[in-house]
Amino acid sequence: AQSVTQPDIHITVSEGASLELRCNYSYGATPYLFWYVQSPGQGLQLLLKYFSGDTLVQGIKGFEAEFKRSQSSFNLRKPSVHWSDAAEYFCAVGLSGGYNKLIFGAGTRLAVHP
Amino acid sequence: SAVISQKPSRDICQRGTSLTIQCQVDSQVTMMFWYRQQPGQSLTLIATANQGSEATYESGFVIDKFPISRPNLTFSTLTVSNMSPEDSSIYLCSVAGTSGQETQYFGPGTRLLVL
């Protein structure tokens, strides 16, 4: 069965520090991969996505993610975190073969210390 | 990307009642989806809202509890019926097109508290 694992439930970083949020997926075919961010009291905003091609994808707000097929991973990174990045981050895999159904990970809650 | 609105943004309801949530998109979209996000949890797909036909429900969700309408390509409703406190969640709609590379865009969500 398809699944998405985000091993870190909570992460705390200092403002200006680098960030990496982990995401591993289980899916037999080539996945479509997404990172969404949910700020408190808000809906989900798309940060970036991977469909094919270059395995390093750039997103909004200075985020990037790298698809590693051998590790079934799609980790999200940012070189310098801002206080406004505090939010919940969700990794999702879209199932191919038509109109994609999204399978979400459990989410990682990011706290940023000043 | 499409601009998606949901009404109401939040509500407090009594158990045993029903609430209808509206999702409006500013452009025609092929696919509309409804998700539930229980407190502190991730998102779970309830159903795919199909225009002109019955919704397609995921395992664990039934039409009697979550009836869905999709009268056109820009609008859908989700009703949460005979509510109990366990239905307290955020309900989100999302939309996707037909480009062949499907990206789902989400509405702001409806925060429901059932007392």
pLDDT of residue A96: 67
| B102·A94 Cβ contact <8 A | yes
Q: Does residue A99 carry a pLDDT above 60? A: no
Q: Which residues of A touch B31 (CB under 8 A)?
A: 99
By the 10 Å C-beta count (0-12 exposed, 13-18 middle, 19+ buried), B58 is classed as middle
Q: Does residue A52 carry a pLDDT above 80? A: yes
Q: What is the mean pLDDT of residues A29-53?
A: 89
| A99·B30 Cβ contact <8 A | yes
| B92·A32 Cβ contact <8 A | no
Q: Which of A28-42, A98-112, B19-33 has the highest mean pLDDT?
A: B19-33
Q: How many helices (H) and strands (E) does chain A have?
A: 0, 12
Interfacial residues of A (vs B; Cβ cutoff 8 Å):
32, 34, 36, 41-46, 49, 51, 90, 94, 99-102, 104-107
DSSP annotation string for A3-28 = EEE---SEEEEETT--EEE--EEE-S
For residue B101, what pLDDT band results from cuts at 50, 70 and 90?
low
The sign one gets for the Cα dihedral B107, A55, A95, A105 is negative
pLDDT of residue A67: 95
